[in-house]
Amino acid sequence: MHQALTSRCTIYILLIGLACFGLRASATTPQTTLEWITLLKSQYAAIEKEIAAPPARANFPDAYKLFLRQWQDRLAGRFAAAATTVEELIKVDPANAEIWRERLETLRLYSQPISSPDQRTVFGDGEVQKKARIIESPPAVYTAEARANKIKGEVRLRLVLAADGTVKNIFPIRSLGYGLTGSAVEAALRIKFTPAVRKDQPASQFATFVYEFNKGDAKPYIPRTVF
């Protein structure tokens, strides 16, 4: 069990390094791979920017639902575009195919349009009989690099608390450098919980966890807002 978790941590951390925070390619890395990774980095940045700017009800009192749906559609489209890029990376970077396939699964999940709960396998906390219950949520380590640079800020992770009791489909919707996003991901993979219940069966539930770094390790919390 510990070995399997370590392997998953390694995959996620390497995935973040490749796709989000500046892969340092060797001289033998194909130029086409670097071009796709550069595109993916820009797409991740666009996703973060979109998530950070949902429509405010106060600005659209008479048409809030319309603008909200348009925002949701734009966000889904950005995830879909990133998924297409990862499909190409699987072709041009076979050495890291396992990592890219796991990323592709996550991007496809978040690119799905809004639909009836009966058409989905992952649910919001308002769509289940019982919400997932957190048993243990380890803190994320404040890295030596972040400490040396006196970095403050938060990492927000969108993830799935799966029906089988594992944490899956982690996506950083707000990231930090200096190894802090990777630290938050590693901590999130170690969350222990009792799965949500829907129709009297264990169910997978979306969740957002925030790791707020301020001169020390970050204990996560679940924000009131979706993102």
- The domain spans of the chain are 2-114, 122-214
- Position 213 scores a pLDDT of 96
Amino acid at 140: A
Residue 138 has pLDDT above 70, yes or no: yes
Amino acid at 150: K
Residue linked to tokens 């699964």: 105
| CA–CA distance, 109 with 112 (Å, rounded to integer) | 6
Three-class SS of residue 220? coil
* Element containing residue 160 per DSSP (H, E): strand 152-161
Amino acid at 43: Q
Residue 88 has pLDDT above 80, yes or no: yes
* Element containing residue 210 per DSSP (H, E): strand 201-214
Mean pLDDT value across residues 89-104: 92
Topology classification of domain 122-214: TolA/TonB C-terminal domain (3.30.2420)
* pLDDT band of 20, cuts 50, 70, 90: very low
User: Please, what is the average pLDDT of the chain?
Assistant: 87
Give CA 214 to chain center in angstroms: 22
